Structure 1
């Protein structure tokens, strides 16, 4: 059963999720804490798989996943003895954009950095798509010159001083909350 509120006996204080700063997952983590009326923090990791390890090792913590995260099904089914989905919610993402470094013209874009989930959008601009671990990481790759353009969030584009070429808008997105199973093993 999916609940809209965590049971009162679960004092969740730490949400472990995908980073770096500026990801949709970070935004969703803070929103979830607020909606639950909980004081807590959001810890960020390079992958959800890395975050998952910390959830298993710590008390009062959950994993926040994104429904379009590649291999979320592996996280669910490979951890059935330890974790279960305890909540889910829909939140609009930051606007998803195609961005480039300042003074880069669209015809000069050869390599586009993208998280695997929105990679189809990257193919609208180049046949050479470099996959990275998050939308924020895509912006960092573009800003550092490792890619000529990126599919990222408007927040990450602005924070990395990128020029937005195309704004795809917000995407209503489902986020999942994974908590420890009662009694540990089933």
Structure 2
């Protein structure tokens, strides 16, 4: 696996991080990145998953030894950074390939511009290339859940989430080299 930029902790505060709060549900690229970051730091830690990074941020602020893992393409990551300058600081970043991004469905379907597709805002252009009927959701894994529950005809999700939900892969877009950020508590 290609990983670029993972650093060795530079100060004692970094060593104290044993909890990563990030985007869920299970099977997100953020979960994968959080586990990788802890492993590369030599830390036996935990990754807690939340509906949004904004929800995760609340837990980081209240939990000693925790950090927020974000994705550089996460909508409004800039708000998380600049609205929390007194509480958080960017302490690390790294590039890791995502799980393969796929278009998946519950059953074989014929795609057209009316096909309803769930997608996180970050990879939504993959969906727009297929249909004009897009439902935005909070994560790639949530897109798979919505597809499985029949809320949409198809979804843009990770191969991991598609496989875990028993979805059929219609198109495989491959891995995407992605930047992930670690935001630690100040003080």
Task: Using structure 2 for the length normalisation, give the TM-score.
Answer: 0.93
Aligned counterpart in structure 1 of residue 8 of structure 2, from 5, 9, 14: 5
Residues 14-49 of structure 1 show CA distances to partners (whole Å, capped at 9, x for unaligned) of 000000000000000000000000110000000000
* SS of equivalent to 1:55: helix
Aligned 1:1-186 pairs, distance under 5 A: 4-7=7-10, 9-10=12-13, 11-107=16-112, 110-182=115-187
* SS of equivalent to 1:27: helix
CA drift at 1:181: 1.7
Kept after mapping to 2: 8 A contact 1:102/1:161: no
Aligned length: 181
Residues 136-167 of structure 1 show CA distances to partners (whole Å, capped at 9, x for unaligned) of 00001111100001000001111111111110
Paired with 1:7 and 1:41, the residues of 2 have a C-alpha distance of 21
* SS of equivalent to 2:171: strand
Which consecutive unaligned segments of at least 5 residues does structure 1 have? none
The structure 1 segments of at least 4 consecutive aligned residues displaced by more than 4 Å after TM superposition are none
Kept after mapping to 1: 8 A contact 2:53/2:70: yes
Cα RMSD after superposing both structures:
1.5
Which consecutive unaligned segments of at least 5 residues does structure 2 have? none
Paired with 2:37 and 2:6, the residues of 1 have a C-alpha distance of 12
Paired with 2:139 and 2:7, the residues of 1 have a C-alpha distance of 27
Task: Using structure 1 for the length normalisation, give the TM-score.
Answer: 0.93
